[in-house]
């Protein structure tokens, strides 16, 4: 059996995933990071994007995160995110509507705070849509 590392993905609503995996890929602010067992400890911010958990050589699970914190310990990876969604629960219609609303909010923003919030929502919707398209293209192969 290959070495494994425990991956915990927790959103504001629930613990989404808790399992031993071979490798974790996450969208850190400075670029994607790959985490294997016995990784050097690290804490970093996450940007909106996909977290991939390599369960085994033949199985990968994918999750969308809206951003958050990635904490790496030698035997455990913890991801804390306001929003985390399993790949099977991603909804393209909802993401497209969120993108439309964020664009509308940016046009109508009356303050820098409103504009900043709308930009964040737009980035999150765009990240979800990119992941949906990526997953769709992977299933066509």
Higher pLDDT, 137 or 59: 59
Q: Which residues contact 37 (CB under 8 A, 6 or more apart)?
A: 3, 4, 5, 22, 74, 75
Q: Is the dihedral of CA 122, 27, 134, 90 positive or negative?
A: negative
Tokens encoding 71: 């904490």
% of residues, the chain, pLDDT over 70: 96
Tokens encoding 14: 């629930």
Mean pLDDT value across residues 124-130: 79
Domain-by-domain residue ranges, the chain?
Answer: 5-87, 90-140
- Residue 132: the pLDDT is 77
Q: pTM (2 decimals)?
A: 0.74
**Is 5-87 assigned to CATH 2.60.15.10?**
yes
Q: Give per-residue pLDDT as tens, 55-107.
A: 999 999 999 999 999 999 999 999 999 989 888 887 778 877 877 887 887 77
Q: Is 101 helix (H, G, I), strand (E, B) or coil?
A: helix
% of residues, the chain, pLDDT over 90: 53
């Amino acid at each position: 059996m290959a070495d494994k590392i425990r991956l915990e993905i927790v959103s504001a609503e629930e613990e989404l995933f808790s399992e031993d995996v071979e490798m974790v890929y996450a969208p850190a602010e400075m670029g994607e990071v790959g985490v294997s067992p016995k990784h050097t400890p690290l804490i970093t911010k996450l940007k909106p994007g996909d977290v991939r958990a390599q369960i085994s050589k033949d199985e990968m699970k994918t999750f969308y995160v809206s951003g958050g914190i990635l904490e790496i310990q030698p035997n455990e990876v913890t991801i804390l995110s306001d929003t985390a969604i399993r790949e099977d629960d991603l909804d393209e219609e909802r993401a497209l509507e969120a993108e439309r609303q964020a664009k509308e909010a940016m046009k109508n923003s009356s303050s820098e705070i409103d504009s900043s919030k709308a930009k964040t929502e737009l980035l999150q919707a765009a990240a979800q849509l990119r992941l949906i398209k990526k997953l769709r293209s992977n299933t066509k192969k």
